[in-house]
Amino acid sequence: MVTASALAVSLAAAAAFPAAAAATPYADSGATAQRAQLQQLARKLVEAGAPGVIVRVDDGRGRPVEIAEQAAWTRRDHLLTAGDEFRMGSNTKTMTATLVLQLVAEGKLALTDPVDKWLPGKVPGGKAITLRMLLNHTSGLFDYTDDAALRPSMLGRDRRRWTSAKLLAVGVKHDPLFAPGTKWSYSNTNYAALGAVLERVTGASLADLVRERIARPLNLKHTYYATDAAWRGPHAHGYEPDAAHMPPGVPAEFGRLAGARHHGHVDVSDNSPGWGGAAGAVVSTTQDWSRFSTALMSGRLLPAAQLAQMRATVPVDSQHPDGPGYGLGIQTGTHPCGTFWGHDGGMPGYLTTTLTDRTGGRSATVLISTELWAEFEADPKIAKAAQALQMAVTCTMFGKPVPNAAHAG
């Protein structure tokens, strides 16, 4: 959970449509045509089985395109709107990294600090693991979300409040995957450690840090760090198929999700994302996240030196050093329509992809209100429709026409 699965949809889409030169222009270049195309693709994604879809695209040249589509059976729970709050999952990592880099800029932390300096004895081998390694997933630490102890919380059956320290303790019970700094492997334990460091250095909670250093200065009224299941505003409901309708590729234990059941689905909206911690507990909206992305990439939240550090990437796949890269809490990849920056997030009921360009002048967010199909690559029909939508969203963000193949999605 809280994985890099959603951005994989973007990258898979890029692979599926490799030639931007094969693109056809819009029927006209206006926002009406853009909106109609994106709305059609969002509707196709719902028809393919997604309970709901929210899209927001800002190409930096006019009024953003905002779309909300939902399956008819979900309307009894909530009428979905483009302004609804939703679980951001691992997009949280970009905010956590921003907080760390702010403290670096203030001289309170250094990227070269060993984690043992701030959490003595809490991380085996912590003298050789730097904060930078935690931020860019080169520490070698085991991912705590792969431990069975987290499963009841992921399923909404255990409502305990997880702290950064407790999440970190689960992860470091396991042997490291490799020597620090020698490879790349996505691990939420890295960000549990960073959450504990932030709390130790500042004496403040992560919820307070997100509010005082990011949400309040940027006037993000629907962005907050969640420690329990409570929502603060109208919110998108998240769903997963019930046990009888779960795709065969999803492990059987995920058929035991807590929540109200109807129409072959479980409403997981009231399950707490708190187990995501500094790796995945933030709630936001498409508009708030666009404002955050713009502020971050344009240098409003970080000085130039720290923003450059954030953008310094390591290859996600060592066999393809020129392929997708991971910086400090942010990912990048080359798409047929442009080079994007951003992150993604996945937890039951909520699959999100957030994108921007290098300057923050353009941004896009896609929410799909079901996630396990992507986590376990279990539903080719939804995957195909999601790829087509993501391709169109990304090209629209860059002001480019969409490759022909995407229209058939």
Q: Which of 240, 219, 222 is nearest to 231 (CA)?
A: 222
Among residues 10, 90, 269, 363, the one annotated as catalytic is 90
C-alpha–C-alpha distance, residues 123 and 115, integer Å: 7
Is 10 considered catalytic here? no
C-alpha–C-alpha distance, residues 387 and 409, integer Å: 8
Q: Can you tell me whether residue 394 is helix, strand or coil?
A: helix
Q: In what order do the strands lie in the sheet with 86-87?
A: 86-87, 282-284, 224-225
C-alpha–C-alpha distance, residues 191 and 136, integer Å: 10
Question: Which 8-state DSSP code applies to residue 265?
Answer: E
C-alpha–C-alpha distance, residues 315 and 333, integer Å: 10
- The token duo for 145 is 């979300």
Cβ neighbours, 10 Å, residue 318: 11
C-alpha–C-alpha distance, residues 191 and 277, integer Å: 8
Please, where are the H alpha helices in 163-285?
164-172, 188-202, 206-210, 216-218, 277-280
Q: State the residue for tokens 């949809």.
A: 9
Catalytic residue annotation: 90
